[in-house]
Structure 1
Amino acid sequence: MSDALAKAEAAASEAATNTAAVQLALAAVELAKLAHQQPAAQPPACHQAHRQGRSPGEWLGIGAAVCVGGVGIAFASIAIAICGMSVAILALVLRSIWGDIQKKR
């Protein structure tokens, strides 16, 4: 029985040695793979955010805003002109009425 036990111990020891050798070989293969890989590209040293040009959608939005603003300014100008003419006509009518009242006295 001790002969069988000795054989079993020798087989276990050999298996452990083989397992360690296999692990060592796998580690060497992994290390070789890492050594042959190219280093990762380094990011540029400049950390400023560079903005690309505006997209077509942004340009359309800007153009639409300018058009709407222009139409709004045009309507505001027309409204101011109408108010000014109304005040001028009112002033002429009141002056005429005031002149008529002054003549009757």
Structure 2
Amino acid sequence: MNELTPLDKAEAAVKEASVDTAAVQLAFAAMEVAKMAQQQPAPAPACDHQHKQGRSTGEWLAIGCAVCVGSVGIAIGFIAFAIGGISIAILALVLRGMWRDMQKGR
């Protein structure tokens, strides 16, 4: 008496269909995930203004050289300024000494 009644057959079909439905849903979800992974990112919206290009290596080297030459020039200028200041201080001391000598000689 292993015969299945129509009710038992219907219950088995419902169980099989529910298992198949879950498997099909998982398969569809996996396919959607794979599609999303393969899609390219959306392009950036177009804009009307011009974008500046970055500076090239040659431009950066030229800027660096100009800064170095300018720095050396400024350093030489400060050295010249210091030498001038020292010269003025020595001149002032010499003139003061001469002035004192002249005052004593009177």
> TM-score over 0.5 for the alignment?
yes
> What residue number does 1:75 align with?
76
Question: Hey, which bits of structure 1, 4+ residues long, moved more than 2 A?
Answer: none
Name the aligned partner's letter for residue 85 of structure 2: G
Tell me, in whole angstroms, the C-alpha distance in 2 between the residues paired with 1:47 and 1:98.
Answer: 77
Instruction: Give TM-score, length-normalised by structure 2.
Output: 0.56
RMSD: 1.1
> What residue number does 2:10 align with?
none
Instruction: Give TM-score, length-normalised by structure 1.
Output: 0.57
Name the aligned partner's letter for residue 93 of structure 1: V
Tell me, in whole angstroms, the C-alpha distance in 2 between the residues paired with 1:54 and 1:45.
Answer: 23
Name the aligned partner's letter for residue 65 of structure 1: A
Name the aligned partner's letter for residue 98 of structure 1: W
The offset of 1:72, in angstroms, is 0.3
**Where does the alignment leave 5 or more consecutive residues of structure 1 unmatched?**
1-43
The offset of 1:71, in angstroms, is 0.3
Name the aligned partner's letter for residue 91 of structure 2: L
> What residue number does 1:17 align with?
none
Give the % identical residues.
68
> What residue number does 1:88 align with?
89
Aligned counterparts, 1:6-25, within 5 A: none
Tell me, in whole angstroms, the C-alpha distance in 1 between the residues paired with 2:94 and 2:73.
Answer: 32
